[in-house]
Amino acid sequence: MKWILLIALLLIAAGGFLLYLFKPKQRKRTESIYTHALNAMVRGDTRTALKHLRDVVKQDTNHIDAYLQMGDILREEDNAQAAIKIHQSLTVRPNLNNEIKRDIHQSLARDFMQIGQLNKAQREAELVLKLDRKSIWANEFLLNIFEKQRNWDQATQITKSIQKLTQSQDPNQIARFLVYQGMDKLEKGRQKEAEAQFQKAVKTAPEFGLPFLRLGDLYAENRDLVKAIENWEKFAILNPEDGQQIYSKIESALFDLGRFSEVEKFYERILDKDPANLNALAKLANVLEEKGEHSNALTLVEDALSKNNESIHAQLMRLKLSLNISKPHELSNQIDGIIQLLTSTDGE
């Protein structure tokens, strides 16, 4: 019995020695192949990367990172279903640490997003959050889903979480979602609730133009033109580039109120805030021309051109105003200048 026991102990010792002798080499070889796979991925050679990754998992079925990378590559190659199978198979592995679990659910969230299964993608992202409450990735991923679903209430809440995590403040983003909530209420015919949401957005971000635009439209629909004009003008001042979309609305509203003489003052206020606003300048020039003040209108445009001679808009406006007062050769020179500007712009 003693000899049998001694032989057994020797065999165990020999086995342990052999395991020690060969396993590190095998692991080293596996990691070398995995490194080649990563290098291939960096080069964009996904075919070679997949080949190396398959070799890795054949030799080491516990190489979780290799499985993760395989699934991610398959997803990028528009084979999300195969990626899901690989990534889901990892969720049942025992003894995984939280960091690995997080990476698995993160990959699954992306897989489901690619095939449009937003509810499943949301569930996976929420699992990431359970594992890492401060995950900015998970919060931003969920925000993307809520925007796709037009779930503006959840989008507002998640935006606040993101800003808290990143220690940033962007009231405009929160106000935008409040406006979207108001628009949804408008579609359901709940005007009072919609107005309340727009007003809440104004309080949240007083320098954000969108809620003023929506309030103006709402008041105009209810024929409260005074308030409509007031809010439209605030939008135009806060959003100079987009303000032109409501210029005609303001002109029509002032006309309906019998206050068309105030149109000139409106454009002057816009230009006081934004002297480079060529759209407002052109509108004001038109108003002056309609009043018979051709000289003042032309002076206004000439002044703008002295500051920005490459503005095709202003050049065309000057040409229009010069038609009845300039000589043919002067008009021809203006046209040549406009053609030159157009040619140089096309060349860019």
Tell me, what CATH number does 305's domain have?
1.25.40.10
User: Residues 40, 138: one domain?
Assistant: yes
Q: Is residue 19 situated within a structural domain?
A: no
Per-state percent for the chain, helix, strand, coil, to nearest 5:
80, 0, 20
Which two tokens mark 129? Answer: 């959050």
**148 located within any domain:** yes
Is the same domain home to 33 and 136?
yes
Let me know whether 156 and 34 are in one domain.
yes
Is 120 inside any structural domain?
yes
Q: What is the pLDDT of residue 317?
A: 65
Which string of DSSP letters, residue by residue, matches 191-215?
Answer: HHHHHHHHHHHHHH-TT-SHHHHHH
Q: Which helix (H) or strand (E) holds 219?
A: helix 210-221
One domain, residues 147 and 176? no
Q: Give pLDDT, residue 244.
A: 86
- The pLDDT value recorded for residue 320 is 67
- Helix axis angle for 263-273 and 278-290, nearest 10°, is 150
pTM recorded for the entire structure: 0.74
In a domain, 16, yes or no: no
Residue 58 within a domain: no
**Could you tell me if residue 62 is inside a domain?**
no
Same domain? For 293 and 247 the reply is no
Question: Looking at 201, 228, 259, which one is the last position of a domain?
Answer: 259
Boundary of a domain, candidates 134, 161, 188: 161
Of 130, 161, 192, the domain-final residue: 161
Domain match, 199 and 318 both: no
Binned average pLDDT, 10 residues per bin, the chain of 348 residues: 51 50 54 76 80 85 89 91 94 92 96 96 96 95 96 94 92 95 94 96 96 96 95 93 89 91 88 81 78 71 65 64 61 64 59
Domain count, the chain: 3
CB environment 8-30: b (16+ within 10 A), e (fewer)? eeeeeeeeeeeeeeeeeeeeeeb
> Residue 294: exposed, middle, or buried by beta-carbon count in 10 A (0-12, 13-18, 19+)?
middle
What is the model's pLDDT at position 18? 46
Give the C-alpha distances (Å, rounded to integers) separating 205 from 172, 176, 201, 264, 315: 6, 9, 6, 29, 37
Residue 56 lies inside a defined structural domain of this protein: no
* 155 shares its domain with 175: no
Q: Looking at the structure, do residues 244 and 347 belong to the same domain, yes or no? A: no
Considering the domain architecture, whether residues 111 and 132 belong to the same structural domain is answered as: yes
Q: In terms of domains, do 183 and 243 share one?
A: yes
Looking at the structure, do residues 189 and 233 belong to the same domain, yes or no? yes
249 and 316 in a single domain? The answer is no
The reported pLDDT for the residue numbered 22 is 47
Within-domain flag for 175: yes
Residue 247 structural domain: 170-259
